[in-house]
């Protein structure tokens, strides 16, 4: 069993939809949780970072962490075609040794 599980997709939605991206993990010691967005042939871009259970909102993006269920989510409201990318979750006990999910490919159609 992988330490971090993430559905590779692709996840296809129409423009304006609410998108839910998820990761599960097995290591209860993980304290830091991040979401990165990666466009094709580019480096990942940090979107959200959370430390504790609960929700964190930034514009159209909401990151949610449920440590009791070992489950994290990223919600995207009013999705746009420019949101089409691969979304990577990452987590760890410290920043220097993160464990990454495989990424979920999101396609937002106009």
Partner 1 sequence: DGGITQSPKYLFRKEGQNVTLSCEQNLNHDAMYWYRQDPGQGLRLIYYSQIVNDFQKGDIAEGYSVSREKKESFPLTVTSAQKNPTAFYLCASSPDRNTEAFFGQGTRLTVV
Task: Tell me the closest approach of the beta carbon of residue 47 to partner 1, in angstroms.
Answer: 11
Q: Which positions from 48 through 67 interact with partner 1, judged by CB under 8 A?
A: 49
- The verdict on 76 binding partner 1 (CB under 8 A) reads no
DSSP code at position 97 = G
**Which of 28, 41, 59, 82 contacts partner 1 by CB under 8 A?**
41
**Smaller CB distance to partner 1: residue 50 or 79?**
50
- The verdict on 10 binding partner 1 (CB under 8 A) reads no
- The verdict on 18 binding partner 1 (CB under 8 A) reads no
Best CA proximity match to 4, nearest among 92, 108, 95: 92
């Amino acid at each position: 069993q992988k330490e971090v599980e993430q559905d590779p997709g692709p996840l296809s939605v129409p423009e304006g939809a609410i998108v839910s991206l998820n990761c599960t993990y097995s290591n209860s010691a993980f304290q830091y949780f991040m979401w990165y967005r990666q466009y094709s042939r580019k480096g990942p871009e940090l979107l959200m970072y959370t430390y504790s259970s609960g929700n964190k909102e930034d514009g159209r993006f909401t990151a949610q962490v449920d440590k009791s269920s070992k489950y994290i989510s990223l919600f995207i409201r009013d999705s746009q075609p420019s949101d089409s990318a691969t979304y990577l979750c990452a987590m760890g006990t410290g920043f220097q040794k993160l464990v990454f999910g495989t990424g979920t490919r999101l396609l937002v159609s106009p």
